[in-house]
Amino acid sequence: MSDSIFETAMAQLGKALQYYSIDTESELRLQTPRATYTASIPVRMDDGSLKVFQGYRVRYNDLLGPTKGGIRFHPGVTLDEVKSLAFWMTFKCAVVGIPYGGGKGGVTVNPKELSLLEIERLSRGYMSAIADFIGPNVDIPAPDVYTNSMIMGWMVDEYSNITREFTPSIITGKPIALGGSRGREDATGRGGFYALEAMKEKLGLGSKPLTIAVQGFGNVGYHFANLAAQHGHKIVAVSDSKGAIYKKDGLDPESVHKLKQQSRELKAAYCKDSVCEIVEHDTMTNEELLELDVDVLAPAALENVITKDNAKNIKAKAIVELANGPTSPEADEILFEKGIDVVPDILANAGGVTVSYFEWVQNRAGYYWEEADVHDKLKIIIDKAAKEVMDLKDEHNTNLRTCAYIAALRRINEAVKAKGTRQNFSSGS
- What is the DSSP-derived secondary structure letter of residue 27? H
Residue 358 CA, chain-centre distance (Å), reads 16
- Measured in residues, the chain has a length of 429
Residues forming a β-bridge with 183: none
Residue 265 CA, chain-centre distance (Å), reads 24
Residues forming a β-bridge with 74: 108
Kindly report the CA angle at 54 between 84 and 307, in degrees rounded to 5? 35
Coil, strand or helix: which one is 219?
A: helix
* Helix axes of 79-96 and 351-365: crossing angle, nearest 10 degrees: 80
Coil, strand or helix: which one is 194?
A: helix
- Per-residue CA distances from 355 to 99, 186, 189, 364, 367 (Å): 13, 10, 12, 14, 15
Would residue 104 show up in a list of annotated catalytic residues for this protein? yes
List the catalytic residue out of 68, 104, 200, 260.
104
At 237, which helix (H) or strand (E)?
strand 234-240
First to last CA, the chain: 43
Instruction: Show which residues are catalytic.
Output: 104
